[in-house]
Amino acid sequence: MTITPTSGLAAPTHTPGGNATTVLASPALGAHDLLVIHQEQAPGGMNPMHSKSTEAVVIALEGELEIVGTDETRRLRRGDSALITAGTLHQLRNAADVTASWLVVTPGDVTFTNPDGEVVQPGWAR
């Protein structure tokens, strides 16, 4: 068992769109098969459209966020969760005037692909 107190976590990584990502579990932190991240997003913020090579669960913690896909948009509020299937092009967007936060849980070997088909791997995902 590995316990990582909050004081042992790396500072959040800030990315475009008003996002801050904190890794809670990853292969680099001793997890073998899991990536768990906490994300916060400023009002009006959004992350880039992308897809993942694996399925992912998004769990809304605070605020309201929208999962925007190519043909539908779903709104999550505190306590709601969504399963995003592998290969689904999507982005997360803050739908409120307060900071939104959520968890993303996915297998540790996930890769990310932008709409142009380029595979990208954020440093925090390793």
* Residue of 48, 46, 58, 40 lying closest to 99 (CA atoms): 40
Residue 122 predicted with pLDDT over 90: no
**pLDDT tier at 4 (50, 70, 90 boundaries)?**
low
Domains belonging to the chain, first-starting first, are 12-116 (2.60.120.10)
pLDDT for residue 75:
96
Each residue of 65-89: pLDDT tens digit?
Answer: 999 998 999 999 999 999 999 999 9
Q: What is the mean pLDDT of residues 46-60?
A: 94
For residue 10, the model assigns a pLDDT of 72
φ/ψ (deg, to 5) at 93: -135, 135
Closest CA to 37 of 10, 18, 17: 10
CA atoms within 13 A on the CB side of 3: 1
pLDDT of residue 26: 86
Reduced to 3 states (helix: H, G, I; strand: E, B; else coil), residue 17 is: coil
What is the reported pLDDT for 6?
62
Per-residue pLDDT tens over the stretch 8-42: 667 788 777 788 899 998 888 888 899 999 999 99
Spatial separation of the C-alpha atoms in residues 55 and 112, rounded to whole Å: 11
Query: pLDDT tens digit string along 85-107?
Result: 999 999 999 999 999 999 999 99
pTM: 0.88
Report d(CA 30, CA 113) in Å as an integer. Answer: 25
